[in-house]
Amino acid sequence: MRSILAKIILLLLLFNCALWVFFIVSDDYVDREAKSRTSNLIRNSLLYGKVVKPVLNDSALSEFEKSVNVQNLLSDKRLIENRNLRIYRFDNLESLPEYFLYFDGSDRLKYAPITVQPLSDEGEVNATETDPKLRFASMLFQYYKPFLDNRLLTEPINVKAARFSIQREMLDSDGDAYSIRVLSPIRIGAKTVGLVETWDTFYIREVYVDRNGIRLTILTGVSIITLLFGAILAISIALPLRRLSRKLDQKLTPEDIANQLDNFSIVSLANRKDEIGRLHKNLVTLTNQVSSLFKEKEQFAADVSHELKNPIASIMAYTENLQDDSTELSKESISKIQDQAVRMNKLVSEISEAAVVDHDLVTKERERFDLVPLVAEVVEHYSETNEYPKLQISYTGPRKLMMNGLPDRIGQVVVNLIENAISFTRPSGQVNITISKRWRKNIRIIVEDNGPGVRDELKEMIFQRFFTSRRGSAEEENSSGLGLYICKQIVEAHRGKIEVSDREGGGSIFSITI
């Protein structure tokens, strides 16, 4: 079963089945009623024993006379109902029918006049057969009864054990009723002179149906409402997921993969404010990022191809000149070829470094570290290796500043910015590095110099791949233009921002906010 809709509906069905099983198993009304009836029988047997005890204790009476006196006492209609009552003489036998019987309330012909009652012409109509609610409760009873039997049914009474204590039993009568019987002793001193037997028939099906008719109606309604709303909820979840799945399952063509990813959005899902809407939004964001990666990959390939064409073209031109026999020309051509090869090697190395940086930003786990000693160590290194006496490098920052990220890559950003500032400030000038953080604000890293600054039209372009605008003393041989691009990638991967602005009095300020 792979469909989430089918799984949710199955869970709803299992939940309702569990609800019905709990309803059946947890209903203890019949248990309490059965125990109450048993208690009543015990109480009645003790009462009858007290009533007949004086008669049985009269030694002047014969057994027949005792029987007549007991029958006269218990036939009084002012006493409690005595239909289900027998009084025995205790004979210490195995079978109760073998005992001498003083009184048998079930034999009504002995104690009541014969009455004639005409039969009704109209048959009685069973309410259980006409009321669907009760008919359903009656049908459900057959699943409930095994649990009831396990809790209530007992072993048959041991007649001889009734000599000393009250005995009781509850036996299955005809599938719909229980037969409850109590046997209590009549004792005179240490001697048992008689036994009182009381019994009752407990029609458990009728009790269960009467008790649970309304409850079953409520439970059925709850089940229907649960299934209905559950199905609506399942459909509202499953169908949008299917639409997203079909959208993701489309075949992408290499010629237009970026545009296909850009058109991933589904309008009806974009307006939802729930988890489905957030999922759609995140998928749209993801596809846009993938689309941007494809576009950047294509642009990167074009940029690398463009950057490599010039040195390759120069190498090819100089190799053609090598065919000339002139020794001086050959040495010059070899020198030019070597320069272009060095340029290509540096370019490939920096491209490889950029790829490593991208890989680390995606795969490496962020850690918590102290930014201050990291930056201080970099500044100290450039201060000690500075070959320009008139170029001053200074640092200002707190004693400790913790942050989460990749310390090696943050250090690389600081190195690139300091090298960039030195290259534009040399041979004389000032490079200042500052770290700060205010309460509930982001960390700021500032690298400023008093060099020529950055023209307004170039402030966005300098962070592009392979872009360089170095002139004069700032010009570097075989510069690839990847330094600031790598800085931007690292900062943005740390959810930060890098900007460049003009310094008052001349120069530039590179500001990082993380």
User: pLDDT digit string (tens) for 438-451?
Assistant: 888 889 999 999 98
pLDDT of residue 433: 94
What is the amino acid identity at position 210?
A: D
pLDDT of residue 151: 85
pLDDT of residue 182: 94
Say if residue 452's pLDDT is above 70: yes
Least confident of 176-185, 190-199, 244-253: 244-253
Q: Where are the alpha helices (DSSP H) in 364-493?
A: 371-385, 407-425, 483-493
pLDDT of residue 78: 63
172-to-27, 83, 137, 159, 201 alpha-carbon distances in Å: 19, 21, 20, 19, 10
pLDDT 10s digits, 336-353: 777 777 767 767 776 777
What DSSP character marks residue 172?
A: E
Which whole number is the average pLDDT over 72-76?
A: 79
Say if residue 302's pLDDT is above 70: no
**φ/ψ bin of 190: left (φ > 0), alpha (ψ from -120 to 50), beta (otherwise):** alpha
pLDDT of residue 195: 93
Give the CATH fold of the 4-111+124-213 domain: Beta-Lactamase (3.30.450)
Residue 272's CB: how many other CB atoms inside 10 A?
Answer: 16
Instruction: Select the more confidently predicted residue: 110 or 215.
Output: 215
Give the integer Cα–Cα distance in Å for 84 and 89.
Answer: 17
Say if residue 279's pLDDT is above 60: yes
Which whole number is the average pLDDT over 435-464?
A: 89
pLDDT band, very low/low/confident/very high, at 307 (cuts 50, 70, 90): low
Q: Decide: 10 and 16 in contact? Cβ < 8 Å.
A: no
Say if residue 422's pLDDT is above 70: yes
Which whole number is the average pLDDT over 468-490?
A: 66
| CATH H superfamily, domain 364-513 | Histidine kinase-like ATPase, C-terminal domain (3.30.565.10)
pLDDT of residue 301: 65
Instruction: Select the more confidently predicted residue: 205 or 127.
Output: 205
Check: pTM over 0.85? Answer yes or no. Answer: no
pLDDT 10s digits, 350-393: 677 777 777 777 778 899 999 999 999 999 999 988 888 889 99
Domain range list for the chain: 4-111+124-213, 250-362, 364-513
